[in-house]
A = this chain, B = another copy of it.
Amino acid sequence: MAKELTPRNENYAQWYNDLVIKADLAESSAVRGCMVIKPYGYAIWEKIQSILDGKFKKTGHSNAYFPLFIPKSFFSKEAAHVEGFAKECAVVTHYRLKIDEKTGEIIVDETAKLEEELIVRPTSETIIWNTYRKWIQSYRDLPILINQWANVVRWEMRPRLFLRTTEFLWQEGHTAHATEQEAVEETEKIINLYADFAENYMGVPVIKGRKTEEERFAGAVDTYAIEALMQDGKALQCGTSHFLGQNFAKAFDVKFTSKEGKLEHVWATSWGVSTRLMGALIMAHSDDNGLVLPPQLAPIQVVIIPIYKSGEDMQRVSETAEKIKEELEASGLTVKFDNRDTHKPGWKFSEYEMKGVPVRIAIGPRDLENNTVEIARRDTLEKQVVSRNSVDDVVRGLMEEIQQNIYRKSLDFRRNNTFMVDDWDEFKDIIENRPGFVLAHWDGTRETELKIKEETKATIRCIPFDAEIEKGKCIYTGNPSDKRVLFAIAY
């Protein structure tokens, strides 16, 4: 095989990096921390975008676009927000370059210094709420349900492709409501939408819950998150939905006249998922042979590879292959017939395994004689020879089955790596030696949370919505607790 990955059990981080490169998903760029998303990786992101966008629109949201730049002073307006976001960011200070007359080099034109620096948006609450002030006067102007697909920048000291990059792509929803209840409902609606997407499209089971104060979005009253478990036992936060209360409305003076004629501050939410989802998708399912993609998000769902020796063989095989391609496309599938004569079938097999194409069909002269084809599925690597006439049925069945199987496999993995722990030594041992999700009691204090983090690197990923009420003692202090929270080492 031309392309080999570092095995997962040897070096998981290296395996991930190898895979992103070798499956042609993305690569580092000349700008530190910024990545190039290559066509195959971007095609997956386009599928993610298109499905989510459909869901946002179906739930009444519209897209809009707000500026890339945010005046520096906007960050000072919301006290918690500035702490969280105004630090590691790209600062634009000048708006012109010029040629240095002495050296001939391009230099910054010092006469073109901005009066107020502009920050490349790390998130857009401030500029959007500054805009909403003009849009909202009356309860009739509410709700505002807007989403934006955009690039954002957060300066990243230890970048990793898709998982942590200085520039990343995302969507950010920003909604404005007349009542607290409506805003809370919106926050919940979106976290449920994200969970549905993660589970039914990405095939990644997630735990929905509330963030602790420590882990909350800077400026939020409450942050809901979905958390997934990767194959190395680490947690990956896949999406967040924030109930912002009236914080941004107060910071940007956004008031409305209610039905009762009273002047009130507007209630807000914001929510987002990013190209980080690509990291989750890659890490949740893939194996030492390469990417494993759920059919719902695969840019190529079926690849057909011809096996032939002579040109005559090739022509006969091609005819059948083209017919099968047509049939499958008529069934709504995305099919590639790889008839390149520059690569051998074995090379192609490895290539599409690396790229995670869910189903591979091979056709050779013997298949033509027997009226069969060979069908291989990427998730289990199983092969079967099926009759030519049943190809459409079998492949459509496999699309369903693979989608379900990889979800089930991930769910089994999570079940086998989720631990109910009541003892501090056991907690430390698990986190260190066989990391996974740990459900344990916590006394609810920031102090304890930080101490646990300090001693084990584990953080509270969320307080699961479906946590049962049970009496217990905090894993660290022994103080009383009424439900378990979800601990893990996080990406």
Contacts and interface: CB of A to CB of B under 8 A. Distances in A.
Interface of A: 27, 29-31, 34-39, 42-43, 45-46, 62-76, 82, 86-99, 105-106, 108, 117-120, 127, 130-131, 134, 140, 146, 150-151, 153, 155, 167, 169, 342
A92 B140 CA distance: 41
B90 A72 contact: no
Contact of A92 (B42, B64, B82, B120): B120
A96 B75 CA distance: 13
B130 A30 contact: yes
21 contacts: A29-B66, A30-B127, A30-B130, A34-B67, A37-B65, A39-B64, A45-B65, A46-B63, A69-B90, A69-B167, A72-B106, A73-B106, A82-B99, A89-B95, A90-B94, A91-B94, A91-B97, A91-B108, A92-B92, A93-B94, A97-B119
Contacts of A31: 67, 69-71, 118, 127
A62 B43 CA distance: 8
Contacts of A105: 76
A120 B119 CA distance: 12
Nearest to A75: B106
Nearest to A98: B87
Contacts of A65: 36-37, 42, 45, 169
B63 A39 contact: yes
Contacts of A120: 68, 92, 120
Given A31-B127, A42-B64, A68-B151, 19 more contacts: A31-B69, A36-B67, A42-B63, A43-B62, A67-B167, A73-B106, A75-B106, A82-B106, A86-B106, A87-B97, A89-B96, A90-B95, A91-B95, A91-B96, A91-B108, A92-B93, A97-B119, A140-B342, A151-B151
With most chain B CB atoms within 10 A of its CB, the pick from A31, A45, A62 is: A31
A105 B134 CA distance: 26
Nearest to A119: B97
A12 B92 CA distance: 35
Q: List the number of copies, as a whole number.
A: 2
B95 A93 contact: no
A429 to B, nearest CB: 39
Nearest to A39: B62
Contact of A71 (B30, B117, B342): B30
A86 B75 contact: no
B96 A93 contact: no
Which of the listed residues A98, A99, A169 has the most CB atoms from chain B within 10 Å of its own CB?
A99
Contacts of A108: 91, 93, 117
A337 to B, nearest CB: 15
B69 A43 contact: no
Given A62-B39, A76-B106, A90 B118 contact: yes
